[in-house]
Chain A
Amino acid sequence: MATPSRPVPVLFRPFKGGPVVKHILLIGFGLVMLYPLLWMISSSLKPEELIFREPGLWPSQVTFDNYTAGWTALKHPFGYYLWNSAVVTALSVVANLVACSLAAYAFARLNFPLKKLWFAIMLGTIMLPHHVVIVPQYIMFSKLDLINTIWPLVMPKVLATDAFFVFLMVQFIRTLPRELDEAAEIDGAGYWRIFIRVVMPLCLPALATTAIFTFIWTWNDFLSQLLYLNNPDNFTVPVALRTFLDASSDSQWGPMFAMSIIALGPIFGFFLAGQKYLIRGVATTGLK
């Protein structure tokens, strides 16, 4: 450090023990933010009757009963519901990636009649609250006789109704230089080939962002899954978790916490795997 020409106020001087103190503060803050999760982990390891009697963070007795009881407490072993959720989520992710990227490519690169109007309508659907659409959508699926199947959850995604992701990709594709498309066109590539060989590989961050958010939102979605999956054989994790609790009779808090921890696993894993793309996606699209 060169001595500054003017004395710097104490407040702005570089702080020597900086990194260490900064990290301690950040870790402390992180722990505070994590407290609810830590509490849930600790409660899942307590005997059921102690959860609210001793609400502290350190369990006085540790037991894995909640995990074994919770796994088998419902009609099916809990793995069955995890599988149901995995099917819905996987189909949603694939459908969103395919449909939204196609729609985005069309909006960003192709010319067709009334393009501006369609784009405005598409953006308009972002402003529609979910609850406005619920009843008409339910009537539609009920007339199609698709209640109690996973199609009401997946089909909208096949048709690129997640306008948020379409918009995200449109913005991303617009940042790509058109010269690349033109070069490919001169080499004789058609729209499909340009889309698959040129645009998509460059869109990887946007695709990863879409995949991760679709995964998290679908995995955590409750209301539409509750509405369309009435039969306990079709329950997904969020709906199954709710059946541990009932305001009017006996609630099984311990197993509920234990299974919630297990249900967090896939999200956590998926996020870790996709994190580096996500950072890139956020950095390049400015979306979080």
Chain B
Amino acid sequence: MSSGKKVWSAALLATAMLAVTAACGSGSGGESADGKIKLRFSYWGSAARQQMTEEAIKKFEAKNPNIDVEGEFSDFAAYYESLSTKVAASDAPDVITLEIRGLREYADRGTLADLASTVNTGDIDPKVLGTGAIDGKQYAIPTGVNAFSLVVSPTELEAAGQKLPDDTKWTWDDYVNLASKISEKSGGKIYGTQQSFNPAYLQIFAAQKGEPFYNGNKIGVSPETIKEWWTTHQNLIKTKGSPDAAKTAEIGAQSVDQSLLATGTGAMGMWWSNQLGGIAKKSGKDVDLLRMPKRPGATTGGMFLQPAMFYTASSKSEHAAEAAKFIDFMINDPEVGGIILSDRGLPASSKVLAAVKDKLPPTDKKTLDFLDKVKGELADPPAAPPKGASAMEDILTRYSEEVLFGKMTPDDAAQKFITEANASIAG
């Protein structure tokens, strides 16, 4: 038996295989094979966004022939999963796209670099820019802004014999009445509105009472305000202005494409202003933005601009200067603005916005006009929320549904919500 020899030959074969596979790796970190500097840029989105971004990257590479930008992209649901793995493995991309809820988490871990002196932010509204600053360091540059507002379909209102409300004066009660009238007049075919449990909605509602959503590392909204907020939801169900609790829970879990308004079974809803285009396309109807209703006697409408996303740079990048240069280009170059348009929110840089204004599709023009109109009444953009804020929407939705299903009293739910939310952001 020459078994010993056989085993050795097998072992040799395996080693040879390994050697071959290892030799197939690409050139090592930061330098691509042709001696160019390699920048890795991670972002999330749809295929359409990927094509625009590739185009913008080509423009950057044409102007900086010594840099080779490699886009790393996935859809939003999977984005943080792969990003956190890369960061944990200290293999973070050089330029990282983040959204406001994840910002503090990454900044606190020391993942991000201060961009204050390396990126030109002169054309960005300082208040909006401030949302990307944590403890006085400009870790993140906003790409563009959105506002959480009320989306309405004038055609559906007309069909139900209702007039567009005067949104400078309307109250939450007016909103509930309008919704129930639409449901009633359409004979149950169309719902007046659909419920929203988005924390941004509660934030606007609380601001009308002068309460901030976050107070440092604590929830700044009082239990009374949360209960009051739920009253509007309960009244909508009572007056049939919205679907009942069960259907509300069902559509709440779906994307905006499956919302009542987008599927032609609702007249109103609350979303971020950049979703207007998608809703218009899916519903095939005319849609418009309205100011959020107010409490009687409120001094502020509470609406605010929120950055759609941020560009940040890795603090461990070997090419910090090039990373900053790339971010600067993506934010300030009018040509890039002309490619990306409103895909990352309406451009934060006023110069870029002025340059691309006429190229925007009609729904974006509407959004722009609306934002111009409400500019004077907006609250300051909120600072980056505490760590753990990403879970806020889930927590709020859960307790809201408990209340609407009548499983918890509003008193009880408000207390429990605050306790759980505080625990989630304490870290």
List residues of A whose CB falls within 8 A of some B CB.
49, 52-53, 73-75, 102, 110, 134-135, 138-139, 142, 144-149, 151, 154-155, 158-159, 190-192, 222-223, 226-227, 230-232, 239, 242-253
Contacts and interface: CB of A to CB of B under 8 A. Distances in A.
Closest 8 pairs (CB-CB, A-B): A230-B72, A246-B46, A145-B25, A139-B89, A242-B75, A142-B91, A52-B258, A138-B89
A250 B74 contact: no
Interface in B32-73: 40, 42, 44-51, 54, 70-73
Given A138-B89, A142-B91, A243-B74, A49 B284 contact: yes
Given A75-B54, A242-B78, A247-B76, A190 B3 contact: yes
B76 A144 contact: no
B91 A250 contact: no
Contacts of A147: 91
A135 B263 CA distance: 42
B85 interface: yes
Contacts of B85: 134-135, 138, 227
B2 interface: yes
The DSSP consensus for interface residues of chain A is: loop
Interface in B291-333: 308
B100 to A, nearest CB: 12
13 contacts: A49-B282, A52-B282, A154-B21, A191-B3, A223-B81, A226-B74, A227-B85, A230-B40, A231-B70, A243-B47, A243-B50, A245-B46, A252-B47
Given A138-B85, A246-B49, A251 B257 contact: yes
Given A138-B89, A243-B74, 9 more contacts: A52-B262, A139-B91, A146-B21, A190-B2, A230-B72, A242-B74, A243-B46, A245-B46, A250-B278
Contact of B45 (A190, A239, A246, A253): A246
Contact of B51 (A75, A144, A245): A75
B343 interface: yes
Contacts of B91: 138-139, 142, 147
Contacts of A247: 75-77, 255
Given A138-B85, A145-B26, A145-B28, A239 B74 contact: yes
A11 B278 CA distance: 59
A247 B80 CA distance: 13
B21 A135 contact: no
B24 A151 contact: yes
Interface in B6-30: 6, 10, 14, 17-18, 21-22, 24-29
B220 interface: no
B252 interface: no
Interface string B246-285: 0000000001011000111100000000100110011110
Given A52-B263, A138-B91, A139-B91, A244 B28 contact: no
B89 A231 contact: no
A149 B6 CA distance: 32
Contact of A149 (B26, B75, B99): B26
B82 interface: yes
Nearest to A195: B6
Nearest to A54: B263
B266 to A, nearest CB: 12
A253 B263 CA distance: 13
Contacts of A223: 78, 81
B274 A249 contact: yes
B86 interface: yes
B46 A252 contact: yes
Given A102-B10, A142-B89, A159-B14, A249 B47 contact: no
